[in-house]
Structure 1
Amino acid sequence: MKANRYFLHGDADPDKIDIYYCVACDIFAKEDHFQHHGSENWRYLERSIKKLQSSELAHRPENAHNLAEKWKHNGSIKLFELLRIRYTRIPLTKRKRFEILKRDSYRCQICGKTAKDGARLEVDHKVAVANGGTNDDSNLWTLCFDCNSGKRAGKL
């Protein structure tokens, strides 16, 4: 599974000159289209940023150009932070880790060792995040440190 290209509200179409994505209307349009949204442009932009940040399979290229540079800032977000957002993988919560450990009976799913056997158990991605894996339960499993170290980002 590969990451999908995600456009923020006001992002330029990389293939066409002076055409931008409108998340509110779900279309690519010319710059003057955004005038009828007015101050709502910032709200749409904030929403599209939150959606992108919550996705594990979407990305936005670093060189993406956005109309927000031309919009009047209404104080809802800092332009500096908006245009320089870093997208990182979403870490697993402690609760999610314990749910996976419990589901797998606190046992390494490769060698079968448990903590009673002296194994240090970890929750691992079957398909690595670097290779498009997600934090879905079906992609997570319990491995001991030794098995996980041997696996690395590879696929078993």
Structure 2
Amino acid sequence: TKETKLIDFNQCQQSSIENFIVNGNFPYESLEKFLVCFPKLCSLSINRLVRLNYLTEKDFNPIELKNLKSISFELHSIYFELLKALFKNFFKYIEILTISIYNDNGSNFFDGEQWEDLISTSIPKLRIFDFQHHYSGPMDHFLYACHSGDFRSEF
């Protein structure tokens, strides 16, 4: 497989594209500059959002994306706090959210109270929330079963 690298959007001009699907690795650290290039997005799907830099936290500048209503992410090595930063800075108008988590980072996503707080404060227009967790081995299945009971918020 090819190594994922930062994508340079510095020369990108704003586009009128409304629906965008990334069918491959996309670096978390490049998302802000990508969104600046596509201010009219209505729907965004990234089938493998990955974090490249584990040593430093990325600070984002907020972007108003009022047309963006639907997001689908498959997360790899992205933890809840990192995802939370994305919603606070870019995705407060979304109505449909699909998130797929893989066994390498899923356990910190099972706290229903943190989701309730995120949704009520950062994405209050959310109508549909599709959360999927995928695991690959017997131990991952066991851990999933243990943690899934933590997701019992009534919001």
TM-score (ref. length: structure 1): 0.27
Q: Which has the larger radius of gyration?
A: 1
Higher relative strand content = 2
TM-score (ref. length: structure 2): 0.27
